[in-house]
Structure 1
Amino acid sequence: MPVSRYSVPQFNPYGDDSPVSHDEHWPAPRATAPIHAVLSLPGSKSLTNRELVLSALADAPSILRAPLHSRDSDLMVEALRSLGTTIEEVDGSGGFGPDLRITPAEELFGSTTIDCGLAGTVMRFLPPVAALALGPTTFDGDEGARRRPMATTISSLRDLGVDIGDDGRAALPFTVHGSGRIRGGSLTIDASSSSQFVSGLLLAAARFDEGLELRHHGDRLPSLPHIEMTLAAIRARGVRAVSNEPGSWSVEPGAIAGADVAIEPDLSNAAPFLAAAIVTGGSVAITGWPSSTTQVGADLAELLPLFGATVELEGDRLTVTAGDRIRGVSIDLSTGGELAPPLVALAALADEPSEITGIGHIRHHETDRLAALATEINNLGGEVTELPDGLAITPRPLHGGLWSSYADHRMATAGALIGLAVDGVLVEDIATTAKTLPQFPELWHGLLTAGA
């Protein structure tokens, strides 16, 4: 499964044969009537990439059923293959691609280069794995990846005795000189800018000689549900992994079991589709919604009613139905910052001001999402002010124009959401949605077709 397939033109939202390329501006479809649609979504990127790492470190083969196939997950697959893991595609159990059979290597080996793209899970989850391999492994990625914070990953592994060469950059590119083992023990880090620093260490910690006693020391710890997701995945593999107290975790050394894992749909990717119901005055249902999950996207069931919608979960179908107006909100999104772009877009279309805070850490995602959201909404006639830890949104009449994506999949989908209500919005580089949802243009087109 070559990673390069996500650099090719993507599906045209209007259903004809002409491609939508990175170089073209995608005319965001305008909704002319309330949308009423039911759809399914591919697997969770967060779960897929965690399970890929655990499967590569396990003591027996694993099967991932209905995993995500996207640029981020394919980068993880290719990286693990380059370290010696065998990953094969087998008949799929879902409608979005094949299942994966993962056979761990008897011994991981380096002497390779890993392309991280813009995937934070690759650049932060795999350096500890590379340290467990024999030989040097160089990490690099897209131009934007070189601006993402990596100092905590590099310094934490050095504190554990791993030799890393970065020429003082504390950023990509860098080389992990793996010795085949990590002693482990006690470690204190500052994970204020990303919970992925914690998850990356915890995922590999059972393979450390002494396991890991990890403590966070910093002024905040964003996206705690992602750490809970990591702990739950580790425990499901037969490893003792606990949170001792807020900001402190321990993983005991031991074998990581192979497993047969069904990957849940990506609930964060559901956000723009569910928000589309509110924007258009209609209803949208997502099938396969889990009754219990560690995904932060589950918070949408509590967040969207704040905008005036009603939410109903019947079996495995979650349905969002618009209210008579879009209300302004005042919410703290510190546990689910990845939901901010579609919710900010929704707030820009509300009939009263909103303030969304607790999201200072999303300045360090694929782009500075606070600055990007403020810039793009303001360029369309809106009024968004950056706060130290969030955004203040005062709704104004919006007009068409170019919406820049900044190579950020969630910025692209936020532009598509605004385009439902505003004529003439052109989203730059819609193909960047292939990072976590290659089918986005096709699914968005289906949403509008169903609404018609």
Structure 2
Amino acid sequence: MTETLWPAPVANTAIDATVTVPGSKSVTNRALVLAALAAEPGWVRRPLRSRDSQLMADGLRALGVGIEERVNNDCGGTGGGEAWRIIPAQRLAGPATIDVGNAGTVMRFLPPLAALADGPVHFDGDPRSHERPQHGVIDSLRALGARIEDGGRGGFPLTVHGTGALEGGIVELDASASSQFVSALLLSGAGYNQGVEIRNIGGPVPSLPHIRMTVEMLRQAGVQVDAPEDGGEPDVWRVTPGALLGRDLVIEPDLSNAAPFFAAALVTGGRVTVRDWPKHTTQAGDQLRDIYTRMGGSCRFTEEGLEFTGTGVVHGIEVDLHEVGELTPVIAAVAALGNSESRLSGIAHLRLHETDRLAALAKEINELGGDVSETADGLVIRPRPLHAGVFHTYEDHRLATAAAVLGLTVPGVQVENIATTAKTLPDFPAMWAALLDPAAAAS
């Protein structure tokens, strides 16, 4: 089959643009699950419409949840744009079949919900979903009283045999492979008879800000949650059983998806503003402000959002990305264009994401003339002059955006399967073109 290649545009001048980043995938998919469990209908406004969020919405519909999609609806005075009205099912339906694609939030968050359905719920997804770790969810649900058939694989495809209720209680799990194991159980835990108490008995949990996001959203929905950051036991989270409130929630921009746009300012010595950047957020992507500043830029809040300015000189960085692993691909691309060595650590878990991100980044940057080596838990990046070539993405949206950043200053970079960016950034090629030529985009 012939590869579909996208010629990454080159920036001939410093970029000066303002960007509207779509809503957060992490917040959108958590909001959908919580709204589905609520005691009354609710609204999710300005949701991310992408493959991952559509898979989540379709999965909930398969369980009997009503999701009405409306546009330019200003009910309640919370602003226009797209809004989804979520109508919880009186009882979650089964039998059902759910496609998880290659979406971590869907494959981890929906099986705990399916345990509350009346009947069997079958899950399957893309070939890569069969390779991604799911044992933390499967083993925990079995310990809490669910019956799951997975053919002994510890992964997909699998069937959750819902009985309309789940006892819940205390469960021990190894969450060192994914924070989503913890979030998955927390999101549905209030619907279990005894709630749920989760004890991590493995190594450090990656991407802890995502668990903090889950905890905060549960509390906003009226759920009582005890978490380590509140002075509780280390590595222990508790959810008390109870009804969830239907809410009217406006989704924040996806801050992690701002990474390539701010990177464009950094590597071209330009300026990019991302609209509506929240001054207070649980999103891990907010750490971009500190990381990119250390790499040579500066940022400030304006009336429109967050403005980031680069000098065109990129400094190497030594940084632990354990909590913000999703930012690694674009940071690695920026580092490859730097003036000194970078060391990215704390990200061994990225080998289990959409692809083995560490191996893929090293291979693809090196094939453009770079010098990237893998360590036990990260990458060492020694900048070298890069040249034209094909950058393969392995159906990983963040690798595709990293390649686009490289292409800004390296003529002749061709990106394989740029369409994979639709996972979280619908129509990324058009957004990228508008970044380089705002006047043409406005005409």
Alignment TM class, shorter chain as reference: over 0.9
Q: Equivalents in 1 of 2:50, 2:181: separation in Å? A: 22
Alignment partner, residue 182 of structure 2: 198
* Residues 273 and 304 in structure 2, CA contact (< 8 A), matched pair in contact too: no
Alignment partner, residue 3 of structure 1: none
Question: What is the SS of the residue equivalent to 1:64?
Answer: strand
Matched, 1:107 2:91: yes
* Residues 291 and 316 in structure 1, CA contact (< 8 A), matched pair in contact too: no
Match of 2:233 among 223, 228, 245: 245
Distance 1:360 1:92, change over 3 A: farther
Matched, 1:60 2:40: yes
Shift of 1:133: 0.2
Deviations 1:109-160 (A, max 9, x none): 1211110001000000000100000111111100111110011111110111
Match of 2:366 among 371, 378, 389: 378
Q: Equivalents in 2 of 1:25, 1:32: separation in Å? A: 21
Q: Equivalents in 1 of 2:87, 2:208: separation in Å? A: 30
Deviations 1:87-129 (A, max 9, x none): 0012336999621000000110121111000100000000010
Single out whichever of 84-93 and 169-178 deviates more from structure 2.
84-93
Question: What is the SS of the residue equivalent to 1:138?
Answer: strand
Question: What is the SS of the residue equivalent to 1:92?
Answer: coil
Pairing of 1:148-297 with structure 2 (within 5 A): 148-243=132-227, 244-297=232-285
Q: Equivalents in 1 of 2:312, 2:429: separation in Å? A: 28
TM-score by length of 2: 0.95
Alignment partner, residue 342 of structure 1: 330
Taking only the aligned residue pairs, the percentage that are identical comes to 53
Question: What is the SS of the residue equivalent to 1:245?
Answer: coil
Match of 2:70 among 90, 95, 114: 90
Deviations 1:366-385 (A, max 9, x none): 00000010010001000000
Deviations 1:332-376 (A, max 9, x none): 111100000000000000011000101111111100000010010
Shift of 1:241: 1.0
Give the RMSD, CA atoms, in angstroms. 1.6
Matched, 1:318 2:318: no
Shift of 1:23: 4.6
Q: Equivalents in 2 of 1:149, 1:412: separation in Å? A: 23
Shift of 1:276: 0.5
Question: Runs of 4 or more off by more than 3 Å in structure 1?
Answer: 92-97
Q: Equivalents in 2 of 1:22, 1:345: separation in Å? A: 26
* Counterpart amino acid of residue 430 in structure 1: I
TM-score by length of 1: 0.93
Q: Equivalents in 2 of 1:229, 1:242: separation in Å? A: 13
Q: Equivalents in 1 of 2:298, 2:423: separation in Å? A: 30
Matched, 1:412 2:396: no
Distance 1:366 1:22, change over 3 A: farther
* Residues 45 and 81 in structure 2, CA contact (< 8 A), matched pair in contact too: no
Match of 1:117 among 97, 101, 105: 101
* Counterpart amino acid of residue 167 in structure 2: R
Q: Equivalents in 2 of 1:398, 1:58: separation in Å? A: 52
* Residues 267 and 312 in structure 2, CA contact (< 8 A), matched pair in contact too: no
* Counterpart amino acid of residue 228 in structure 1: R
